[in-house]
Structure 1
Amino acid sequence: MFTLEQISAFTAVYQHGSYSAAARVLDKDRTTVREHVISLEDNLGLPLFTIVGRSARPTELAHRLYPRAEILARQAQEFTLTALAAFDQTLTTLNIYHDVLLPASMVIQIERQAAEHFPQLQLNWLHRNRDETLNDLVSGEAQLAIMPHRNKLIPEKQIGYRSLGMLPLSIYVGQHHPLATQPEVAIKDLQLNKQYISENHLRAGIDMMKISPHQHIISNNDVLIALLRHQGWAVLSRIFAEEYVEKGDLVELTLTDVVNAHRHGLTLYYPTQLESDTTIGQFIDWFTDYARQYMG
């Protein structure tokens, strides 16, 4: 039989390339990690690593076993965290992390539902970057997060997730910008004008971010909108930009050489140890309902 300690040691050595590095990650002695791997090799009757200097190089068998071992190790950790969370007190504060793609209409809808069903619960909507968000979800500092996809659905950290859908993105300028009244606008026209880029869009790896050679990176949405009223253009989500278009502050451009709007996915993340929490479960359902309604 194989033990969880053996599987955990094997996956850590595979991921980090040496017994010493795996030991630091697992917070165990190097000797203990090595003994677990050797014990697993004895049970298999075949080597999993070839030692070259201080490095542990995976064998062909290790490459075949690793994907399944990673799943087992992840599920074991999730089980432990969920079991420990059963002793925690009821949530009184909910920290919801997000970036600039979070639709304001989503916040309004969730706030209304929370006020009705959980009037004593304090909701904190906190703007954070992706790396900080994932780390705080693992540590428990954040309970929920809305972040863009990053070229893959499954997150880098051991956290739960739910893919919400796709947000349409488009090009916007201020109402007095020359492109706002130009009969036809193409990408070559955008390249001749100043482009404002949200820092979080860059971090999310959204493909259509860099078009103009005249780029200015902005980390604050309010500042970005204020600048757009006077000059330049930017890529924004349609849901976010809608209110500024209705006010007459911004104009959406239709490009002659782009047939359909670019779309980028949003994912809801949460700590796996809170998956069985009734409050978190209700919020997950609310976010899902919003996504089904507005993010097809």
Structure 2
Amino acid sequence: MAFDLDNLGVFLAAVDTGSFSAAARALGRVPSAVSMAIANLEAELGLQLFDRSGREPRPTAHAQALLPQARLLVEGVQSLNIHALSLHQGLESVLRLVLVPELMAAAPWHEALRLLSIDYPGLEVRVLSAPQADALAMVQDGRSDLALVFERYGMDPSEKFQEVAQETLVAVLAPHHPLLARMPASGIRDEHLLAERQIVVAGRHADQVDKRIAMSRLQWTTEHPMAALRLVETGLGWAWLPSGFVREPLALGQLVQIPSENFSNSLRLWVDVVWSAGRPLGPAARRFVELLTQGREEVA
């Protein structure tokens, strides 16, 4: 075998430093050892890798052709060593993150994961989606390490959390909804909405509905905001939906923001990253929380 990790390092050092003597200094070797290593490599390959006709050896076309893959091999081994060391130091073999669907497209988790992949290039990450109550349950029973959810009422001693962003929910309905036709000139009041069907994004059970947004006596529930959006656009009810989901339908006139008289038609909620108080976070999870906190910003 012509190439091994040692002569790959010598080859790259010679190319990057521009001379065998500079490569020797960078590697902590004598120049003759570098020159001999390159000569032996050329003999085994049957290729001239450096043109020695000038004052300093210059990479030949053969060397330039081999260079990209040589760099990839060395970088791959370096990444493997870093990942092995990280595992030795307690790095998780996989980081599991669950998000409520409303935050899939909006919250600043994408950039945090990108930065995390630089710190831990070998880390496996699994991104899941579940309604809020289900996402929190997945953290508690160990199916997920972290959950990105909306703020909750009160304090749960079984949870730890960090605020990382804000999201705006907007009260919307279809422009052809009958409520608009019979709306008072002053606007819609909360009691007008009580009798109207509300489309609520929630989990599989009725007790998982967030009381801050569940206003109507009659409610249809769905686990995904996109399904809720389609039901509202059809005229089947009104809903609180993330501003990012409704920005385009509002601009196109497919939805209208409810003209309210005695309540705000937008609701700002904190976005929290949550983990179990009973299980310490691993290095990657801690770093991800740190990156989310550093990038804290308003969503939408």
What TM-score do the two structures reach when normalised by structure 1?
0.56
- Are residue 185 (structure 1) and residue 184 (structure 2) matched? no
Residue of structure 1 equivalent to 2:232: 228
Counterpart residue identity of residue 103, structure 2 = L
1:104 counterpart SS class: coil
Distance in 2, matches of 1:225 and 1:260, equals: 16
Trace 1:165-204 onto structure 2 (pairs within 5 A): 166-178=166-178, 184-200=187-203, 203=207
1:268 counterpart SS class: strand
Distance in 2, matches of 1:98 and 1:245, equals: 25
Distance in 2, matches of 1:229 and 1:260, equals: 17
- Which of 124, 127, 130 is equivalent to 2:126? 124
Kindly indicate which of the two structures has a greater share of residues assigned to helix: 1
**CA contact 2:168–2:267 (8 Å) conserved in 1:** yes
Residue of structure 1 equivalent to 2:79: none
Query: What is the CA-CA distance between 1:284 and the residue it aligns to?
Result: 0.7
Residue of structure 2 equivalent to 1:149: 151
Distance in 1, matches of 2:176 and 2:123, equals: 44
- Are residue 267 (structure 1) and residue 272 (structure 2) matched? yes
Query: What is the CA-CA distance between 1:119 and the residue it aligns to?
Result: 4.8
Query: What is the CA-CA distance between 1:236 and the residue it aligns to?
Result: 1.8
- Are residue 215 (structure 1) and residue 219 (structure 2) matched? yes
Distance in 2, matches of 1:95 and 1:247, equals: 37
Query: What is the CA-CA distance between 1:193 and the residue it aligns to?
Result: 2.8
2:103 counterpart SS class: coil
Cα gap change, 1:96 to 1:217, in 2 (>3 Å): same
| 1:118-172 deviation digits (Å, cap 9, x = unpaired) | 554443332235555445435543121122333213x342x43213355332211
- Which of 282, 288, 293 is equivalent to 2:293? 288
What is the count of residue pairs matched by the alignment? 208
2:234 counterpart SS class: coil
Q: Give the superposed CA RMSD.
A: 3.7
1:225 counterpart SS class: helix
Distance in 2, matches of 1:137 and 1:150, equals: 15
1:105 counterpart SS class: coil
Distance in 1, matches of 2:256 and 2:192, equals: 16
Residue of structure 1 equivalent to 2:162: 162
Distance in 2, matches of 1:112 and 1:179, equals: 45
Distance in 1, matches of 2:96 and 2:136, equals: 13
Counterpart residue identity of residue 100, structure 2 = D
Identity fraction in percent:
18
| 1:50-77 deviation digits (Å, cap 9, x = unpaired) | xxxxxxxxxxxxxxxxxxxxxxxxxxxx
Between 122-131 and 137-146, the greater mean CA deviation after superposition: 122-131
Distance in 2, matches of 1:248 and 1:93, equals: 44
2:139 counterpart SS class: helix
2:239 counterpart SS class: strand
Residue of structure 1 equivalent to 2:260: 255
Query: What is the CA-CA distance between 1:92 and the residue it aligns to?
Result: 4.4
Distance in 2, matches of 1:250 and 1:114, equals: 38
Counterpart residue identity of residue 219, structure 1 = E
Distance in 2, matches of 1:294 and 1:202, equals: 30
Cα gap change, 1:121 to 1:105, in 2 (>3 Å): farther
Query: What is the CA-CA distance between 1:88 and the residue it aligns to?
Result: 7.4
What TM-score do the two structures reach when normalised by structure 2?
0.55
Query: What is the CA-CA distance between 1:255 and the residue it aligns to?
Result: 0.7
Distance in 2, matches of 1:109 and 1:177, equals: 39
Residue of structure 2 equivalent to 1:20: none
If you compute each CA radius of gyration, which structure gives the higher value, 1 or 2?
Answer: 2
Residue of structure 2 equivalent to 1:90: 91
**CA contact 2:116–2:287 (8 Å) conserved in 1:** no
Between 174-183 and 134-143, the greater mean CA deviation after superposition: 174-183
Distance in 1, matches of 2:289 and 2:224, equals: 27
